[in-house]
Every structure is written in structure tokens, then in C-alpha cells.
Amino acid sequence: MIALTWRGASIADAPVPSYWEEEVDDVINRIELAKEDNNFNAFSFGFLTDFHNKTNYGQSPSLLEYVMDRCSIEYYINGGDFSTDGALSTEQMVIEDLMEADNKFINIAHRALKVEGNHDVAYST
């Protein structure tokens, strides 16, 4: 069983569906097998995109950190779209979404390369 935490506390208000436990274990096994099969100078990294902070269940940071730690993956790329509102957003709304998302990824922020998505820069002002 996977014990998901965020900032050291259990995430009780957004429980992970039980089917994720098996899927995450399967993903970890596939990553480990691929690393064994390719033990030449390989580089692994995580990739996350379209986080959409306001409509997300909030499990992405913990799941990503969990898999990265168990697979000894040092870095991840965040492909953007932290914000949800896109063209309806003001610049301030996008900044607030980005700051809120950054706080959720605080435990692994030093392991990230982030880019902006189309929803992050499409504010109407």
C-alpha cells in the first residue's frame, strides 16, 4: 500500500483511488526493468504536464515524488499548464495559480525544470 503524504502529512481529504496503488507499483516495476535492460549511460527523468491547479485532485506532487524516489530519478520536467482559466485569466490570477502550484511541489521543486503552458501565458490583459 502506498502512503501518500504532502509536506509530511497524510492526504486524507483527497484519497488516492485503490486502483492507483497497483498501477503505481506496475509503473515502478517497468521503470526498474527498463533501467536494468539499459544499464549503459542512461538518463531517466519524470515528466508532468497539464497540472491545472484548480481542477486537479492534488495527488500529482506526491505521486511524482513517490515514483521518483523509488526509482532513483533525480529530475523531472513540468510541461506547464499550472493555471486552468487560460484566456479568461488576468495576469494576477495566473501568478497566483503558479505560486499555489509551486507550494504543492515544494518537496521536489529543486528537482524541476518548468516551462509555461498555453494556459499559463494566455491571460487577457
The residue that leads in pLDDT, 10 or 104, is 104
Q: Mean pLDDT across the chain, nearest whole number?
A: 76
H or E element that contains 26 = helix 18-37
Average pLDDT of the residues in 47-67: 79
Note the pLDDT of residue 11.
Answer: 45
Q: In one letter, which amino acid is 79?
A: G
The residue that leads in pLDDT, 60 or 86, is 60
pLDDT band at 33 (very low <50, low <70, confident <90, very high): confident
Reading the block at residue 6, the C-alpha cell is 504532502
